[in-house]
C-alpha cells in the first residue's frame, strides 16, 4: 500500500458516522479496511451498501485533506485524491461534482471536528480564561494529531476558492463571537464591556501564527505555544500583570 494512502481507524469512523450506524457495523468496516490495505475487498457483501458508500465518502474526504496538505489545493487533481483514498473515479463522481465540491465537503467535515473538540474541551473550564486555555490546548493538539485537516483549514482555505474563503471567515467569526461572549459574561457590573474587535484580533492573530507555522511544515511540538498564546489573549482584557500569570503558570 502507498505510504500516502489514508487509513480510517475505528475511532475515525465512529466520530464521522457514529450517529448514523451501529458501532458493531462500523467496527466490521474498520476491520475489513485494515485487512484490505485501506480498501474494501472486492465483491464485499457483508456490509450494508449504504454503509459502504458512506465509508467510501469518508475515505475520499480524508484523501482530499491528505492530497491538499501535501500538494496544495491548486495543484491537487481528482487523481491525486483517488490515489490517496484508494477509491475509483466512478465512486468519486457518485459523491462529488468536482474537486472543489470534494474540498468544500472535506473542509466542512474537518471544521466540524475541530469545533466539537475545542468546544468539548473548553466546557470543562471554570471562568473564561480557563475555558480559553483548555480550548487552545485542544486546538494545538488537533494540529498535531490531524495535520492534514489543520493544513487544509488554516493554510489552503485561503487560496482554494471563494466558498472556502467564506467558510474560513465564518469559522473565525464563530470563535471570535464565542470568546467575546465569554468575556462579556464575566465583566463586572458597571465596567465597560470589552470591544468585540479585541476578540476578532485575538482569534485572527492566533490563526495567523498557526498559518505561518503550518506553511513552513511545522505540525509537531506546537503545544509549547500555549503560554504565549494565552498571554496574547489575556493582555487586551486584563492587562500585563494578569497576562503574565499565564507565563508564570507555564513556568511552574
Which sequence spans correspond to the domains of the chain? 10-96, 106-251
Q: DSSP letters of the chain?
A: --TT-----HHHHHHHHTTTS-HHHHHHHHHHHHHTTTSPPTT--SS-HHHHHHHHHHHHHHHHHHHHHHH-GGG--HHHHHHHHT--HHHHHHH-SSHHHHHHHHHHHHHHHHHHHHHHHHTT-SSHHHHHHHHHHHHHHHHHH-HHHHHHHHTGGGTS-HHHHHHHHHHHHHHHHHHHHHHHHTSPTTSPPPPHHHHHHHHHHHHHHHHHHHHTT--SSGGGGHHHHHHHHHHHHHHHHHHHHHHHHHH-
* Residues 181-228: tens digit of each pLDDT: 999 999 888 888 888 899 999 999 999 999 999 999 998 889 999 999
Domain covering 106-251, topology: Tetracycline Repressor; domain 2 (1.10.357)
* Residues 47-87: tens digit of each pLDDT: 788 888 888 999 999 999 999 999 999 999 999 999 999 89
pTM above threshold 0.75:
yes
Amino acid at each position: 500500500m502507498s505510504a500516502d494512502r489514508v487509513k480510517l481507524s475505528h475511532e475515525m469512523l465512529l466520530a464521522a458516522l457514529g450517529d448514523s450506524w451501529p458501532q458493531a457495523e462500523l467496527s466490521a468496516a474498520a476491520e475489513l479496511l485494515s485487512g484490505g490495505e485501506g480498501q474494501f475487498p472486492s465483491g464485499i457483501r457483508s456490509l450494508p451498501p449504504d454503509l459502504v458508500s458512506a465509508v467510501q465518502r469518508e475515505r475520499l474526504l480524508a484523501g482530499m485533506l491528505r492530497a491538499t496538505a501535501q500538494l496544495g489545493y491548486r495543484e491537487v487533481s481528482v487523481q491525486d485524491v483517488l490515489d490517496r483514498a484508494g477509491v475509483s473515479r466512478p465512486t468519486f463522481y457518485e459523491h462529488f461534482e468536482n474537486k472543489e465540491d470534494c474540498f468544500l465537503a472535506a473542509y466542512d467535515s474537518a471544521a466540524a471536528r475541530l469545533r466539537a473538540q475545542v468546544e468539548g474541551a473548553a466546557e470543562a473550564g471554570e471562568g473564561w480564561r480557563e475555558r480559553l486555555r483548555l480550548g487552545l490546548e485542544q486546538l494545538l493538539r488537533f494540529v498535531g494529531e490531524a495535520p492534514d485537516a489543520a493544513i487544509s483549514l488554516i493554510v489552503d482555505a485561503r487560496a482554494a476558492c471563494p466558498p472556502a474563503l467564506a467558510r474560513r471567515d465564518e469559522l473565525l467569526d464563530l470563535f471570535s463571537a464565542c470568546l467575546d461572549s465569554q468575556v462579556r459574561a464575566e465583566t463586572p457590573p458597571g465596567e465597560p464591556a470589552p470591544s468585540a474587535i479585541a476578540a476578532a484580533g485575538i482569534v485572527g492573530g492566533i490563526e495567523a501564527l498557526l498559518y505561518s507555522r503550518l506553511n513552513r511544515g511545522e505540525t509537531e511540538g506546537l503545544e509549547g505555544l500555549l503560554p504565549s498564546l494565552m498571554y496574547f489573549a489575556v493582555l487586551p482584557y486584563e492587562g500585563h500583570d494578569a497576562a503574565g500569570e499565564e507565563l508564570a503558570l507555564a513556568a511552574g
